[in-house]
Amino acid sequence: MTRHYCFGLALLALGGLVLPAYPEDQQSEQGTRPEPTPEAADEAILLLQAEDIPIETRIEGVRRILQAYPEDATTWAALGELYMNADEPARALGALRQAVELDSKLHSSWHWIGILEKRNGSYKEAAMAFDRARAAGGPPAVELNEKAVALVRMGRMSEAYGAWRDALTHDPGWGVLYTNAAKAALALGNEDAARDHFLQGMKAERYEETLPLMWTDHLVRSGRLKEALRDYEVALAEQPKAAKLRYYYGMTLKDEKEEEAAIHQLAIALSDALETGDRITADAVRKSLFALEHPKKMRELVKAEETIRKETDSPSPSEKKLLKAIDSMSPIIEEHPDLWEPRLMRGVALRRLGRGDDAKSDFEQVLVQVPDQPNAYLNIGLIERDLGHFEVAAQYAAKAASIAPTDPLIVVNAALVLVDAGKCDEAAQVLATARDSIPFENADEIRRRIKDACSE
């Protein structure tokens, strides 16, 4: 007996080669086997969904069920999804293939097989798996969308476009499909079709903000600013609270020398961004508004920030140049306290001048405005380390690395602070998390320092 479930779990980023199932996850020798039972499948599903239990414990529990009921397809499917969440793609693929071999109607297993094959670069196999998922009863629009992505990777854009158009007939309210179809139409040189997808997608029940941004960016890059402004207005008529969209509308107005209109639209964008908690857009709008309303002050800030970056990167920074930069920035910072980036840069300059208390004050004020600003945490950590407060320094460094785990500058400096604090394992973990984003020579040097510090 097989029970069909569509698990729909959020997946980790998976990678690696596709290998056969590990021996312990394959069926036992042929012979008399207990028939699958609903209770076995239910127990496996409960383990799959029990996120409060460690993943390793859940995997072992499902494997014990399979020892008693090796013919239960649903339990194999549950094991495959658990392996996916444990970032073991090879074992996941083996278990999922065992599931569909026992029951070819498990559409969720075919879907995850397609996802794994796509991530492995096996796009033909992925496309076939999505076809099988759809034939077994999987959501047509979902499977067609995934198949289309695989087709694009194979260079079959025309077929991909057809798949996205087909998907739209099954789920015309899914905004992502309009975005993908518009991109494909543009790639095929069909601008009229792309704009049609844009116009239809703006009315979609599940609107996707990438669509108008992508389409209007295409027009701007083509030098067709008037057309871009027209379609910004079309999009904003449908989505009047889309702060990011309105921000780009305002910036395009600025490019067209319509500064008064630009300032008006940016002010609305700022209000909408603050209302919806979109801090990233709000910060971008504030900076652009400041540049439009105070061009001379903006030039002074840019010049000061360039000086600070240059001098702090130097082994022998010029105290005179840093002080001059601070003096030019400070009145603007006090007059415009909502601009946190200049305050952050002033803090960096103050730290390099040895004025740790003043620098820390700036960084703490930045964190009041931007509670997850990694550079502010890191710089406080560096100040505390220089004062010999290693435990506190390590806490700030670890926080910075947790916020920006792939930023090379953050990670390298955080790892060094952790090493100085004697937290060798944490430093190694921080480095391992960001291994693909750190230049080899830097990572190698830090590993050497970790090894030397930890062997003392």
d(C-alpha 46, C-alpha 48), whole Å: 5
Q: Which residues pair with 206 in a beta bridge?
A: 174
**Burial status of residue 320 (CB atoms within 10 A of its CB: 0-12, 13-18, 19 or more):** exposed
Q: Residue 67 corresponds to which tokens in the numbers above?
A: 């020892």
Q: Residue 22 corresponds to which tokens in the numbers above?
A: 């590990």
What global pTM score does this model have? 0.74
Shared domain for 106 and 73, answered yes or no, is yes
In a domain, 161, yes or no: no
Q: Which of 201, 188, 203, 117 is nearest to 156 (CA)?
A: 188
Q: How do the pLDDT tens digits run along the chain, 456 residues long? A: 333 333 332 222 222 222 223 233 333 333 334 444 455 555 556 666 666 668 788 888 888 888 888 888 988 998 999 898 888 899 999 999 999 999 999 999 999 999 999 999 999 999 999 999 999 999 999 999 999 999 999 999 999 999 999 999 999 999 999 999 999 999 999 999 999 999 999 999 999 999 999 999 999 999 999 999 999 999 999 999 999 999 999 999 999 999 999 999 999 999 999 999 999 999 999 999 999 999 999 999 999 999 999 988 888 889 999 999 999 999 999 999 999 999 999 999 999 999 999 999 999 999 999 999 999 999 999 999 999 999 999 999 999 999 998 888 898 899 999 999 988 888 888 877 766 566 655 666 767 777 777 765
Where does a domain end: 79, 103, 138? 138
| Helix/strand/coil for 443 | helix
Shared domain for 315 and 341, answered yes or no, is yes
| Cα dihedral 29, 32, 38, 42 in deg (nearest 10) | -30
Shared domain for 130 and 41, answered yes or no, is yes
Cα-based distances in Å from 356 to 10, 112, 274, 340, 413 = 44, 52, 32, 18, 17
Q: What is the pLDDT of residue 438?
A: 61
Q: Residue 133 corresponds to which tokens in the numbers above?
A: 């998922």
Residues 6 or more apart whose Cβ sits within 8 Å of residue 331:
none
Domain region containing 412: 373-456
Maximal C-alpha separation, the chain: 86
Q: What is the pLDDT of residue 292?
A: 95
Q: What sign does the CA torsion over 411, 416, 419, 420 have?
A: negative
Q: Which single residue is written with the structure tokens 């300059």? A: 349
Q: What is the pLDDT of residue 441?
A: 58
Shared domain for 425 and 310, answered yes or no, is no
In a domain, 201, yes or no: no
Q: What is the pLDDT of residue 49?
A: 64
In a domain, 236, yes or no: no
Where does a domain end: 97, 119, 138? 138
In a domain, 265, yes or no: no
Q: Give the CATH number of the domain where residue 385 resides.
A: 1.25.40.10
Structurally, the chain folds into a number of domains equal to 3
Where does a domain end: 82, 111, 138? 138
**Are the C-beta atoms of residues 219 and 228 closer than 8 Å to each other?**
yes
Shared domain for 13 and 121, answered yes or no, is yes
Q: Give the CATH number of the domain where residue 356 resides.
A: 1.25.40
Shared domain for 323 and 394, answered yes or no, is no
Mutual angle of helices 390-403 and 424-433, in 10-degree steps: 20
d(C-alpha 36, C-alpha 47), whole Å: 17
User: Which uninterrupted H or E stretch holds 361?
Assistant: helix 356-369
Shared domain for 41 and 132, answered yes or no, is yes
Shared domain for 366 and 382, answered yes or no, is no
Q: Which single residue is written with the structure tokens 């015309």? A: 172
In a domain, 398, yes or no: yes
Shared domain for 438 and 306, answered yes or no, is no
In a domain, 217, yes or no: no
d(C-alpha 389, C-alpha 442), whole Å: 25
In a domain, 198, yes or no: no
Q: Which residues pair with 174 in a beta bridge?
A: 206
CA neighbours within 13 Å on the CB side: how many for 191? 6
Cα-based distances in Å from 417 to 33, 278, 385, 449 = 58, 32, 7, 11
Shared domain for 438 and 454, answered yes or no, is yes
**Are the C-beta atoms of residues 81 and 111 closer than 8 Å to each other?**
no
Shared domain for 11 and 102, answered yes or no, is yes
In a domain, 216, yes or no: no
Q: What is the pLDDT of residue 428?
A: 84
Shared domain for 338 and 394, answered yes or no, is no
**Are the C-beta atoms of residues 273 and 250 closer than 8 Å to each other?**
no
